[in-house]
Amino acid sequence: MPTFQRFDTISRYLLILLIALLPFFFIPVAWIGIAQSKVLFIAVLLALATLFWAIARIFEGVVRIPLSFVLGASALLPLAYAVSALVRGWNTLSIVGSGVEQDTLAAICMSIATFALFVLLFSKEFGWVSLTLRAFLCGAAIMMVLQIVHLALPAAPLSAIFAGNSGNALGSWHEFCIMVGFVLIMCLILSEIDIAKEYWNYFFWGCSLVSFMLLVLGGFSDIWIALACVSLLLVIHRTYLYGLKNISAHWQQIAWWTALFCVSVVLAIFGARLQNTLPSSLTVQSVEVRPSWQGTFAVGAKALANPVALVFGAGPNTFTRQWALYKPASVNATQFWNSDFSAGVSSIPTSLITLGILGAAAWIFFLGIFIWTFARVFMRRAFSSPHAQIVRPLALGALFLLAFFALYVPGPALSVLTFAFIGLFVAEISHVDRPQHFTFSILGSEWKEIVGTVVFGAFVLSIFAVCITSARVTLAEALIDKSVAAYANSQDMAYSDALINQALWLYPSDDRAHRAAVELGLLELQQLSRQSDPNNAAMKAQLQSALEGTIQQGLSAISIDSADYQNWLELASLYRQLAGAQVPQALENARTAYERAQSADPTSPLPLYGLAQLDILSNDSAAALKDLSAAVQLKPDFAPAYYLASQVYALQNDLKDAAASATLTVQYAPDDPLSWYNLGAILYTQGTYADAATSEEKALALNSRYANALYVEGLAYDALNRPADALKAFEMLDALDPGQSAVQAIISNINKGLPALEKATASH
């Protein structure tokens, strides 16, 4: 065997390993998510497969590319992403994002590179596609077994990785069920052909049964509709293929697919009701929130309003920005008002917004060519090659997966697997149709060979660059998650800071890492302020150094992405706290940052709320109330704004308006003990003692150790001439915080039959 064929074989096995392990591969640590595990795995395997393919081409000295319309059309997708990213600013958000988003240039390049390598390597020799399908289905079977174990044994070690009973080894629960539906289709179709010889037939039927049961647990109507469409296509195909005269000889196949069509339609309609009848142990709780079709198109219409955006889009992976700018006002009335959606209702509509006409043309052309190729192959009566029987299962499977790019937002694993199966489909077509190849030599001295070498080198290096960058970003994001979890568990600031520094070393352009560094910096500043001695020069210098470093982290996040409202909010929060400590220029800088955050996210009340806090620091009550009024116009149930307004009114001694705002606070935040305490304190000051006592009782029902609520409750009982209840409240307060002279004096007064505050300190 020639040397180049050996390297080609290694590359093929790496690609087989990729799609065999991808369904169930995950890194078993809590701080690396499933999607992050998938991206790291894809990046490593894809880079290695590309490396060995490139070495093979260097030894052979020739690159052969099958002349496939689908392969050519696929090249338009990364080209559209690259052009859009270049025109719209070439920022890290569009190029790689946080590593797991699929609307980035890096993500589409990895998917198309996987597709291209499958075509280039599997179109050369027979037999590899069957091996690949079997390997994939074995991997998918392991994925389903892991899920069954997780559902049956929720307390097993898998629960530390799979969040809730909907957690799984692939991605979201919806994504898992899409893959299970794909497995069902492939197993049923493959069971009819030679690939199902001997024990493989039992394996396919076993996987089909398990897949069907898991789909019933999933209950997703879009998957059942897709299965119904596939079944109907197969009924039409079998009828067309065999002809009306020969249907009786193949009635079992037609009857089987007709039955599956009927069952799928029924479950698409009544699947949700069926789920309600299942035992609680078999009910999978899954919450999945995406913008609606209407919301996605509403955002798109505004985002593409200018000519440049219409042609080139808003920029890859910038749907979050467009959502912040243009989301429907009705969203603020939901619990998802502050959710940052990285995609719209599905992948293709999202890319139409982020890529504009350029992306629409690329997707339409690619889908059109694929569907034309699918129809041409699927409805052909006869093939000259004996290997053609596997083409139709691949065609249907690829179509099934690709359809969910228009119906859903696939994650990294499902995206790569979709393009891998399109690649297998195109590769198998080359065995059937035997198309011509475009061949060019490399590493020669003639100009054609030089051009070929440059093109070959650019292709290989771009894949390496994409894989390395994706891995770096994903690892950096995982380290940030580990830092957050570490601080929550141990409050070890030094260790958390070290993890953030590691993330920044891996990927200095990660604005989220800089925001996390600001959060840690604020905690450090608070700690140093408590310990600092104004007369100690060393401690003063340490505090100044920490302050400058924290500010620089906030400014670095802004310099990386000045269009992200989160970066401005983080910087504003930093400056606001510094303004409270009387740091010069901090108040002005905080106001500027909040104003920039408001321009980047005009539909959110948070920047206006922050501005109101600054107004209070400036003793400008009128401006604070104006900003708070604007905040509740955006979100009428924004409880923090009503709480802050009640405080402003109380400071002005306007107890009537203070009580009205405090009442709205408890209306919109009934589970917050602070809101009930605040209302009770204002009502007590107003002299409405009975209502004040009731409010504090509700605060204490939510938090029985709420000292301030106990204090006001005791005073309210005393004013209502309920000395026994007042004594009980103050004795509980004394037990919470023993030794407070004011509380002990009040207890003494009540025991003597005197008013609670008689000769006692009224503050607590």
Strand partners, 65: 438
Residue 531 has pLDDT above 80, yes or no: no
Q: 684 and 714 in contact (C-beta within 8 Å)?
A: no
CA gap 161, 183 in Å, rounded: 24
Strand partners, 63: 440
Q: 595 and 611 in contact (C-beta within 8 Å)?
A: yes
**646 to each of 491, 641, 678, 688, how far by Cα in Å?**
34, 9, 8, 16
Q: 């692939």: which residue's tokens? A: 170
**Of the ranges 58-67, 293-302, 377-386, which one carries the lowest mean pLDDT score?**
377-386
pLDDT confidence tier of residue 626, bands split at 50, 70 and 90? very high
For the residues 543-548, what does the mean pLDDT come to?
86
Residue 182 has pLDDT above 90, yes or no: yes
Residue 686 has pLDDT above 60, yes or no: yes
Cα 712 from chain centroid? 44
Tokens standing for residue 510 = 């990660």
Q: 180 and 211 in contact (C-beta within 8 Å)?
A: yes
Tally of CA atoms within 13 A in the half-sphere of 229 that contains its CB: 15
DSSP 216-273: HHH--HHHHHHHHHHHHHHHHHHHHHHTGGGGGGGHHHHHHHHHHHHHHHHHHHHHHH
Domain ranges of the chain: 671-764
Residue 245 has pLDDT above 60, yes or no: no
So what's the pLDDT on residue 248?
Answer: 60
Q: 40 versus 451: which is more confidently predicted?
A: 40
pLDDT confidence tier of residue 219, bands split at 50, 70 and 90? confident
Q: 């030089």: which residue's tokens? A: 450
Over residues 428-449, the pLDDT tens digits come to 888 776 667 788 888 877 888 8
SS3 of 450-484? HHHHHHHHHHHHHHHHHHHHHHHHHHHHHHHHHHH
The CATH class for the domain spanning 671-764 reads: mainly alpha
So what's the pLDDT on residue 432?
Answer: 72
Residue 76 has pLDDT above 80, yes or no: yes
Q: 């690619």: which residue's tokens? A: 366
Residue-averaged pLDDT of the chain: 90
- Beta-carbon count within 10 A of 240 CB: 12
Residue 385 has pLDDT above 70, yes or no: no
**This prediction's pTM:** 0.91
Residue 71 has pLDDT above 90, yes or no: yes
Q: 383 versus 237: which is more confidently predicted?
A: 237
Q: If we measure between CA atoms, which residue out of 133, 74, 73 comes closest to residue 421?
A: 133
So what's the pLDDT on residue 763?
Answer: 42
Over residues 632-654, the pLDDT tens digits come to 999 999 999 999 999 999 999 99
- In sequence order, the 6+-apart residues with CB closer than 8 A to the CB of 450 are 444
Q: Is 318 helix (H, G, I), strand (E, B) or coil?
A: coil
Torsion angle, alpha carbons of 547, 549, 555, 557, to 10: -120
Over residues 114-143, the pLDDT tens digits come to 999 999 999 877 778 889 999 999 999 999
For the residues 233-252, what does the mean pLDDT come to?
69
So what's the pLDDT on residue 762?
Answer: 43
In the chain, DSSP finds a helix count (H) and a strand count (E) of: 32, 2
Residue 764 has pLDDT above 60, yes or no: no
Q: 342 versus 271: which is more confidently predicted?
A: 342
CA gap 61, 443 in Å, rounded: 7
Q: Is 34 helix (H, G, I), strand (E, B) or coil?
A: helix
Residue 625 has pLDDT above 80, yes or no: yes
Tokens standing for residue 624 = 């604070």
- In sequence order, the 6+-apart residues with CB closer than 8 A to the CB of 668 are 637, 638, 639, 642
Q: If we measure between CA atoms, which residue out of 592, 563, 568 comes closest to residue 579?
A: 592
**595 to each of 2, 138, 570, 571, how far by Cα in Å?**
66, 55, 13, 11
Residue 496 has pLDDT above 80, yes or no: yes
- Beta-carbon count within 10 A of 330 CB: 11
Share of the chain above pLDDT 90, in %: 67
Q: Residue 243 burial by CB count (10 A; 0-12/13-18/19+): exposed, middle or buried? A: exposed
So what's the pLDDT on residue 194?
Answer: 76
CA gap 352, 535 in Å, rounded: 61
Q: Is 622 helix (H, G, I), strand (E, B) or coil?
A: helix
**Of the ranges 346-350, 429-433, 600-604, 692-696, which one carries the lowest mean pLDDT score?**
429-433
So what's the pLDDT on residue 576?
Answer: 92
So what's the pLDDT on residue 324?
Answer: 93
Residue 616 has pLDDT above 70, yes or no: yes
CA gap 605, 637 in Å, rounded: 11
CA gap 537, 517 in Å, rounded: 25
Residue 150 has pLDDT above 80, yes or no: yes
Q: Residue 516 burial by CB count (10 A; 0-12/13-18/19+): exposed, middle or buried? A: buried
DSSP 407-430: HS---HHHHHHHHHHHHHHHHHHH
CA gap 74, 93 in Å, rounded: 23
Q: 97 versus 272: which is more confidently predicted?
A: 97
Q: 399 and 378 in contact (C-beta within 8 Å)?
A: no
Rounded to 5°, the CA angle 167-168-171 comes to: 95
Q: 251 versus 627: which is more confidently predicted?
A: 627
CA gap 313, 306 in Å, rounded: 10
Residue 295 has pLDDT above 50, yes or no: yes
Residue 90 has pLDDT above 50, yes or no: yes
So what's the pLDDT on residue 671?
Answer: 95
Tokens standing for residue 245 = 């005269």
For the residues 529-537, what does the mean pLDDT come to?
70
Residue 534 has pLDDT above 70, yes or no: no
Q: If we measure between CA atoms, which residue out of 671, 664, 760 comes closest to residue 718?
A: 760
The two beta strands, 62-66 and 437-441, are: antiparallel
Q: 């500027």: which residue's tokens? A: 592
Q: Is 69 helix (H, G, I), strand (E, B) or coil?
A: helix
Alpha helix ranges (H) inside 491-536: 493-506, 511-531
For the residues 22-34, what does the mean pLDDT come to?
92
Q: 702 and 666 in contact (C-beta within 8 Å)?
A: no
pLDDT confidence tier of residue 159, bands split at 50, 70 and 90? confident
Q: Is 574 helix (H, G, I), strand (E, B) or coil?
A: helix
Tokens standing for residue 168 = 């799984």
pLDDT confidence tier of residue 254, bands split at 50, 70 and 90? confident
Residue 615 has pLDDT above 50, yes or no: yes
**Of the ranges 61-70, 203-212, 232-241, 606-615, which one carries the lowest mean pLDDT score?**
232-241
CA gap 125, 83 in Å, rounded: 36
